[in-house]
Chain A
């Protein structure tokens, strides 16, 4: 375990230590019944039927059993409490991390991997914190104390109690040969299975559509059969050994060894019958502890691997927070010699200079892969530039308080991304305290109010349950949400999919309201939508190659004119032509 996890674990370490202490006390108390039973036997054998000493020892048996049980229970309760608190703080730390890393991080991290860390790994960590220390303590202290007591009675008894152990120990050592490397291998195939099943589920429509011979099913099958074979191949030769060696730990075998060899020792007069009685009580208890230790260590390995992944997530670098915050003055956007790439080998933007005056509309056009979306996403600071700077209202976005930035820069995404929750929750995303009237006014301006009222529970209908929106409707909803946030700067990523004609007309109306009086940077996919804007910027391979108004650019007969002609060829014929 390394630093971040250690820091988070610090507040609960006290609880864990007290838990371990209770576990040790409980384990010692657990031994008392054996001592008391033996003393009881001594009294009975001596023919001493003095009632109250008999009952005293009997009471001690019962009392110590109960106390031992409670101490152990208390120990587990304390460590569970520690785990409960740790999980809460870890979850909080992870979520906060997810919200602060550069969005580029999500390119290499699948949602399945995030789920695994936040959900499964935390669960695996549970064993380490809540069970491992306590169970291991009990499993070590009880047999050791028992053996010490036996040795104190008669050293031969202690040896007798562990007579069959060497058999198991040797077998166990044989079975664990190469365990580490085997586990690593299995861990890797397990990750593949995990990824394969996530794909399988998300692509289920494709899997179904293309039948069971399809690639998805095959790659899933490949991943799982590889894992199954690897695992089975490893354990199969060990099974017989395990089945045989585990006999050495079974109670009847231990009894036979204890009583058989014990009888010989008795015959020699080296031990007394009552000592043998004490030995059998302790001897049958030991294998149990060994199995607990064994299982606990296996679970610990899983938990440590999980802790490592949590650690990795918590160590991901965050977008730096400004030390001194600058207030944006106005709403113009400026890109100065902006360079950017997810990795230095493949730059996406190679020196962009661009000014978008306050209150104007600028359109970014260019082939796919030209860097339009990437450039626009630098404004809300989804990523930080590698060189140069992006300014809003004269302030570098890296120096604006992140809590100010989102109130200044709005973003209408290509896909509307409606979150799980009510329609109202989605509309109020940027302004949770907006009044009912403000919310409805925004919905009306975005031409979606009537549609929402038609839902079974109106604004309280839940997305995906009783509120199912078409693509066009979701776009209007996302426009309404942006309207409600009311930011002076707006980034608009044009949706690439068709909406039906009615919807499109309404989106048009909604956008006209939204754009009014704001500085708009639009990532345009079809040229017809933006021919009337203030400034058209043509990007090519991360550089601005042309800029100007539609007419100017057509006149220049350069890259834009070529794009325009290509789009005209495929534009739908109009009514006159078709009839």
Chain B
């Protein structure tokens, strides 16, 4: 709808202006919309992918479950007295202070014991299924891209190359902080001309120039931590005519050893990243949903090196000003020996896609028929999850 690619004539003209006068091209389509009526704030989605398999039992800790101490005393014991309280007897890891503040403001809701349809334990396949939203995964079709197609919106990945989640028909670009000084605009113009017969390179360069024109001097750090990526992400999302959704990624969750120390650091970064995201979104936070997902959980028992190995169910963390939070969602399977999946992992009690589908339905008003194309076979959960215009149909 407001996709730049829909305006082929504008594309070239716009670039000439960009190269010549430094005008930010990105804003042109938005101006086109603004001419008809004052733009209403558009609902935004941030999808944060935690790569490596988050141990949810270390994040949203089921302190009420007697199985916790039986299965993983060495990991749980130092934690249980310091947990930040949630409902149903769960507790949040003490390094997730900002997230807990959101929970108190009803802007955070963990969903426990969720999984994708994937049931083996490979990171790479697991992430592909998570990003694709299909099992088996399709490397050229991501769930977020399909959702964007249905919503007719634009997406952005804070990454160097387009992740699977945003691959497909939809308009999606990438941005990543660099600290090389830009080449002079004449070189870009000449390369655009040289790429005239090379559709892909031409399109990529054009997208990149548009995004750079918008981000300006945000680029910086050598090794960007989540905070820096989140800041750029928020600035891009909140700008006039900015994209409708953004994808962020954070690695380092594959805690096979020394889990307590490593997760403490990871949670600290995650927490700070969310805080920066919230602060820099400003008013836009109120229209934003943040969905934090991981490819799978980890073994309920600790392994022989103070860590955990690859498992099955984990947690989904929902946040944002648009969320109806302040609760812990999802059915709890229990941690008794017989409750576990294949005798070792947290048992999934719901499909992660059913929650994401419900969010798309309520936040972006994507109708059921189109949701089936986003997440084939996943029925949206029947709970009101957002503070949006849709009134609750089902009592929570």
Tell me if chain B binds chain A: no
Interface, chain A (partner B; CB < 8 A): none
Residues of B that sit less than 8 Å from A by CB = none
